[in-house]
Amino acid sequence: MDSALQGKVVLVSGGSSNLGSAICRAFSAEGAVVVCTWASQGGRLRAEALARELPSCRSQAMDVRSEDSVSGALDEIARTEGRLDVLVNNSGVFTVSPQEELTEEDWDKVFDTNIKGLWRVCRRALPSLRASAPSAIVNIASINAFHPGFGGTAHYDASKGAVVTYTKALAEEVGGDGVRVNAVAPGLLDAPYLRTPGNELGAKYRARAVLGRLVDPSEVASVAVFLAGARSSGIVGQTITVDCGYLLR
């Protein structure tokens, strides 16, 4: 356990998702107070269930595509918790479409969530993070930032490439204020449908990955905790891949 995270307030955007829930659990296990955000009714139900499971976790509405929603969520955190120590930007959208069929609406939806939404939350959270420094931002990128997906994901790949570059730029800008910014780039996350016989995507990933398997969300969550804690105090502006060796080949 990283004692530096005990009692710290951690905001996890998209905390009700598969990966987001793993991140919330990992920080809660470190003794942190976790704010799990959601942007849909289904997300709300999952976040509320997680809050019942984890005594130090609470549910909070926040749609990263809306400036008003982001501001409202950060104001509520300031009112109820009085501080913010760690921001994990996990909200994201993934769609698949060949370039000839990709609509401007789909492109805008992915970028508005994956990079502009991330920027909205960072911009609004920075005053609180500066006030509680040393503090940390952990952005969730993707190995697609470094290697194209299996086709039809150019818009998603480009958005995650932007997350990696933004992470470096923001780290340089706010590091002197005691706010460390880093990112995690997960590979293909394990899910039941990817393990079904005949699932081509899961099979292709396992065949290429050095470890011969998909990535468990808890493995990504543990790196997010590491990057937010005292043990990574000298790491800034970096993106750590968690891909079971997929990019090695």
Contact 75, 45 (CB under 8 A): no
Residue 2: CB atoms within 10 A of its CB come to 17
Handedness of CA 150, 15, 169, 30 (dihedral sign): negative
Helix and strand numbers, DSSP H then E, in the chain:
8, 7
Rg of the chain (C-alpha set): 17
Contact 189, 142 (CB under 8 A): no
Give the integer Cα–Cα distance in Å for 142 and 240.
Answer: 10
Collapsing DSSP to helix, strand or coil, 192 comes out as helix
Structure tokens at 102: 């990709």
Q: 156, 166, 205, 246: which one is catalytic?
A: 156
Give the integer Cα–Cα distance in Å for 114 and 106.
Answer: 12
Contact 91, 43 (CB under 8 A): no
156 flagged as catalytic: yes
- Burial 217-235, CB ≥16 within 10 A → b, else e: bebbbbbbbbbbbeebeee
Degrees to nearest 5, angle at CA 199 with 196 and 205:
110
- Residues with a known catalytic role: 156
